[in-house]
């Protein structure tokens, strides 16, 4: 017989009074028929443990009156889930164990209740496995699972930086082990889960997640740090406990939620959690006509902001300043969200679609500053990835970024976009630096700007400042391999090779097969004269990443430095073959000639790199491979031509 509890039992926003038989949600009574109530009571008697179908049969129906047990129990569980807003495929409260029974997986507050163990898998009410592949279930604490990510425009640029972490970095990078400032609270917004059943609607939850991160990160940056979405997205489809996620991210508080549709209506649920104790500080649901998505998202974002300002005692953001970021036209907002989604794909097709969606958003609202900023980032990637001539893409990107700032000069995203374009193509280092600095000043929690700025500082010969900003970026993006690599790259540029190796090891702890980390490790090894180890790392990277210019280039360089000239020349031919016409790579070819000891050819290709506006020109001052050329007058001439500090 199942032991009975007395008194109120709480889980999520619900409270079940076992004495009166009442179920309440946030204080409001919910109608629950007798049989679903009995199922809930039985599950709450043993939270986190299996309650078999036979045990439920004995509790709900005496043997002599039982007629159709399976059908009756399935119906009771369905009605219970409906009352709780739960789902068989993605359960938050009641999980099905195939052919065995059910388990209550949410945290329960009741006297002497043991904490529920980590559940293992889910199924439909019939006890059979659902249509989707079973997945391990997380311990009871999360309202939802993570959600399919889209990268914001600036983050999309950061991902491109990896192309040189391996060999030739482009305008991004930077980021180790620094605790948050004394008294600073740390919070993460976990991706809102798409419960609509329609993968095409994922941009809805992505947009809400992005909006919350953006709004919360501007509340009080000196007292509240907000984890970057690239790190938060690492927990998509994971089932870790709240305290485990918080430990990995270095945060105290978590925000999570879900998006679902009911007919032509949309419902958003949100929850604020104190992670260590798994205490639900606040939870609520919002529902509206699907056509009012823009209004509903803002309502949710503002409500969560209000709750955090109250619960965490931090000042509210400047609402008037925030309002300038947004559009009041729902269709424009939808196109903006879709543009962000496709921008994050960083493919020829994705970037083209992003350009179309941002363009449509601007047509619908000429004052939509964020859409102009997204368009600027799209043009930057189209040009730098070789999908569009740089001579066309970068001027268009600059024009879009300038328009965004004309509409809202407090938009950190637009300052960061303009800074990247200014240094990447126009080689206006001081001007770009001012915009990077302004982006960080406007939002100290804007980790993309912190990474960009740190890399800029490194290239300008300011390594200590670069490391400080890189560290701040890593703190906000703690489980991102990119953020770890950013810091390693700056250490490499600073000739702190052993520290760079240690930092690369940190990256491998997060992602052992992260190809760019193996490429950079090979470059560090060759700088230390460890040629055989360098070749091994580059060959491993090529197996992981395939034939790409950012892998083939350092491979050829390392082979040349190792004295394997014939192989180096063959690899150089391979580089030329795969680089044209998408990326002629004059700077990369110059690097290989340096490895071959052919200084004259190297300087010829460096001249070509300047004329082609090759973004890697910025690396002249910091790339160790150039150390042997620095005493040559031609090297100083190239620096002067590019207006780089000497």
What domain range includes position 165? 153-476
- Do residues 164 and 134 both lie within one domain? no
DSSP 271-334: EEEETTTTEEEEEEEEEEEGGGHHHHHHHHHHHHHHHHHHHS--PPP-HHHHHTT--S-HHHHH
484 lies in some domain: no
Which tokens is 576 given? 């030329």
Is the bond into 581 cis (omega within 30 degrees of 0)? Answer: yes
In degrees, rounded to 5, the angle at the alpha carbon of residue 93 between the alpha carbons of residues 87 and 99 is 70
Domain count, the chain: 3
Q: What is the pLDDT of residue 500?
A: 94
Give the helix, strand, coil percentages of the chain, each rounded to 5.
55, 10, 35
pLDDT of residue 252: 86
> Residue 295's pLDDT band (boundaries 50, 70, 90)?
confident
Judge if 86 and 164 occupy the same domain. Answer: no
Q: Degrees (nearest 5) of the Cα angle 311, 307, 314?
A: 55
Q: Which residues contact 569 (CB under 8 A, 6 or more apart)?
A: 596
DSSP string, 226-249: E--HHHHGGGTT----HHHHHHHH
* H/E run at residue 609: helix 599-611
SS3 assignment, position 639: helix
566 CB contacts (<8 Å, ≥6 apart)?
none
Q: Tell me which of 544 and 8 has the higher pLDDT.
A: 544
> Are the CB atoms for 106 and 126 separated by under 8 Å?
no
> Do residue 564 and residue 589 come from a single domain?
yes
Question: What backbone phi and psi angles, to 5 degrees, belong to 523?
Answer: -70, -35
Task: Assess whether pLDDT exceeds 70 at residue 633.
Answer: yes
**Is the per-residue pLDDT at 320 higher than 70?**
no
285 and 174, same domain (yes or no): yes
pLDDT over 60 (residue 157): no
Judgement on whether residues 307 and 420 belong to the same structural domain of the protein: yes
Structural domain ending residue among the three candidates 419, 447, 476: 476
* pLDDT at residue 13, as a whole number: 78
- Across 590-595, average pLDDT: 93
Distance CA 197, CA 174 (A): 38
pLDDT of 110 reads: 60
Q: Are residues 330 and 224 in the same domain?
A: yes
Q: Which two tokens stand for residue 463?
A: 């390594």
Provide the β-strand partners of residue 30. Answer: 23
Tell whether 353 and 467 lie within a shared domain.
yes
Query: pLDDT tens for residues 433-491?
Result: 999 999 999 988 888 899 999 999 999 999 999 999 999 999 898 888 888 899 999 99
**Residue carrying the six token digits 């007058």:** 633
DSSP state of 109: B
- CATH code for position 31: 1.10.10.10
Q: pLDDT tens, 139-151?
A: 322 323 222 232 2
Look up the CATH number of the domain holding residue 357. Answer: 3.40.50.10070
Q: Are residues 425 and 366 in the same domain?
A: yes
What φ, ψ does residue 274 adopt, rounded to 5°? -90, 115
* Residue 262 backbone dihedrals phi, psi, to 5 degrees: -130, 100
CA 283/CA 341 separation, integer angstroms = 27
Higher pLDDT, 121 or 613: 613
* Spatial contact of 443 and 221, defined as CB atoms under 8 Å apart: yes
Q: Return d(Cα 98, Cα 127) in angstroms, integer.
A: 4
pLDDT (0 to 100) of residue 370: 92
At which of 113, 139, 165 does a domain end?
139
User: 391 vs 625, which has greater pLDDT?
Assistant: 625
Distance, CA of 551 to CA of 547 (rounded, Å): 7
State residue 631's pLDDT score. 93
379 lies in the same domain as 236: yes
- Looking at residue 624, which CATH number applies to its domain? 1.25.40
| 532 and 563 co-located in one domain | yes
The residue with greater pLDDT, 155 or 185, is 185
Pairing of strands 51-52, 253-262: unpaired
End residue of a domain, out of 139, 167, 194: 139
Q: Is 511 within the bounds of a domain? A: no
Q: Where residue 119 falls among pLDDT bands split at 50, 70, 90?
A: very low
- The mean per-residue pLDDT over the stretch 409-426 comes to 93
With 50 as the cut, is the pLDDT of residue 382 above it?
A: yes
What is the CA 119 to chain-centroid distance, rounded? 26
Which range has the top average pLDDT, 26-40, 260-274, 334-348, 409-423? 409-423
> Contact at 8 Å (CB) between 550 and 582?
no
Q: What is the pLDDT of residue 270?
A: 84
> Which phi and psi angles does 258 have, rounded to 5°?
-150, 160
Check if the beta carbon of residue 165 is closer than 8 Å to that of residue 489. yes
Q: Both 236 and 330 in a single domain?
A: yes
What is the reported pLDDT for 170? Answer: 34
Mean pLDDT of 179-187: 61
What is the per-residue pLDDT for 348?
A: 85
Q: Is residue 491 part of a domain?
A: no
Q: What is the pLDDT of residues 397-406, one digit of tens each?
A: 999 999 999 9
Confidence (pLDDT) at 62: 59
Residues 122 and 163 in one domain: no
> Quick one: pLDDT band at residue 263, thresholds 50, 70, 90?
confident
pLDDT over 60 (residue 38): yes
Instruction: Report the C-alpha gap between 195 and 218 in whole angstroms.
Output: 29
For residue 492, is it within any domain?
no
State how far the Cα of 300 lies from the Cα of 283, in Å rounded to an integer.
11
419-432 pLDDT, tens digit per residue, is 999 998 999 999 99
Within-domain flag for 146: no
Tally: H helices and E strands in the chain: 26, 13
- Residue 146: what pLDDT? 29
- Pairwise CA distance, residues 456 & 269, whole Å: 41
pLDDT band at 407 (very low <50, low <70, confident <90, very high): very high
Q: Give the burial string for 463-487 (b: 16+ CB within 10 Å, else e).
A: beebbbbbbbbbbbbbbbbbbbbbb
* Residue 411, domain member (yes or no): yes
Query: 567 by DSSP, 3-state: which?
Result: helix
């Amino acid at each position: 017989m199942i032991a009975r509890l007395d008194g109120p039992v709480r889980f999520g926003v619900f409270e079940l009074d076992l004495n009166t038989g009442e179920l309440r949600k946030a204080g409001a009574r919910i109608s629950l028929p007798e049989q679903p109530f009995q199922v809930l009571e039985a599950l709450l008697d043993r939270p986190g443990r299996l309650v078999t179908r036979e045990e439920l049969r004995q509790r709900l129906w005496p043997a002599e009156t039982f007629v159709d047990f399976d059908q009756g129990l399935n119906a009771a569980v369905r009605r219970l889930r409906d009352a709780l807003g739960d789902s068989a495929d993605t359960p938050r409260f009641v999980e099905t164990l195939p052919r065995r029974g059910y388990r209550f997986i949410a945290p329960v507050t009741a006297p002497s209740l043991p904490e529920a163990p980590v559940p293992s898998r889910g199924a439909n009410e019939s006890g059979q496995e659902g249509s989707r592949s079973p997945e391990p279930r997380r311990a009871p604490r999360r309202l939802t699972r993570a959600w399919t990510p889209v990268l914001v425009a600036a983050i999309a640029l950061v991902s491109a930086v990896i192309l040189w972490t391996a060999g030739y970095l482009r305008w991004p990078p930077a980021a180790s082990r620094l605790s948050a400032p004394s008294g600073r609270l740390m919070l993460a917004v976990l991706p809102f889960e798409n419960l609509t059943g329609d993968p095409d609607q994922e941009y809805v939850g992505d947009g809400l997640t992005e909006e919350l991160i953006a709004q919360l990160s501007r509340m009080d940056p000196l007292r509240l740090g907000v984890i970057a979405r690239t790190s938060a997205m690492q927990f998509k489809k994971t089932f870790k406990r709240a305290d485990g996620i918080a430990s990995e991210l270095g945060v105290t508080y978590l925000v999570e939620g879900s998006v679902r549709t009911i007919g032509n209506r949309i419902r958003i649920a949100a929850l604020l959690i104190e992670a260590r104790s798994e205490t639900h500080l606040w939870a609520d649901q919002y529902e509206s006509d699907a056509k009012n998505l823009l209004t509903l998202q803002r309502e949710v974002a503002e409500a969560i902001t209000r709750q955090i300002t109250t619960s965490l005692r931090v000042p509210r953001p400047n609402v008037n300043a925030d309002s300038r970021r947004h559009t009041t036209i729902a269709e424009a907002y939808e196109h903006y969200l879709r543009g962000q989604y496709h921008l994050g794909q960083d493919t020829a097709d994705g970037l083209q679609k992003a350009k179309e969606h941002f363009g449509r958003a601007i047509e619908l609202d000429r004052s939509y500053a964020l859409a102009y900023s997204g368009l600027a980032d799209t043009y930057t990637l189209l040009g730098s990835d070789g999908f569009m001539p740089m001579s066309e893409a970068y001027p268009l990107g600059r024009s879009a970024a300038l328009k965004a700032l004309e509409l809202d000069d407090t938009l950190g995203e637009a300052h960061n976009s303009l800074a990247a374009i200014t240094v990447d193509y126009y080689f206006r280092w001081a001007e770009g630096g001012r915009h990077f600095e302004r982006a960080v000043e406007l939002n100290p929690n804007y980790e993309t700007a912190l990474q960009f700025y740190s890399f800029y500082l490194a290239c300008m010969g300011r390594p200590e400042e670069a490391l400080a900003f890189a560290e701040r970026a890593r703190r906000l993006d703690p489980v991102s391999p990119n953020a770890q690599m950013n810091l390693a790259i700056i250490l490499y540029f600073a000739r702190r090779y052993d520290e760079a190796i240690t930092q690369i090891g940190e990256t491998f702890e997060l992602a052992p097969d992260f190809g760019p980390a193996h490429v950079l490790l090979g470059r560090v090894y060759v700088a230390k004269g460890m040629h055989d180890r360098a070749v091994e790392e580059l060959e491993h990277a090529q197996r992981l990443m395939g034939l790409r210019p950012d892998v083939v280039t350092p491979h050829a360089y390392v082979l040349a430095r190792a004295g394997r000239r014939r192989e180096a020349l063959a690899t150089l031919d391979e580089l030329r073959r795969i680089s044209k016409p998408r990326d002629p790579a004059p700077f990369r070819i110059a690097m290989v000639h340096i490895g071959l000891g052919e200084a004259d050819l190297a300087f010829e290709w460096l001249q070509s790199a300047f004329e082609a506006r090759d973004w890697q020109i910025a690396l002249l001052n910091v790339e160790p491979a150039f150390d042997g050329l620095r005493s040559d007058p031609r090297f100083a001439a190239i620096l002067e031509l590019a207006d780089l500090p000497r």
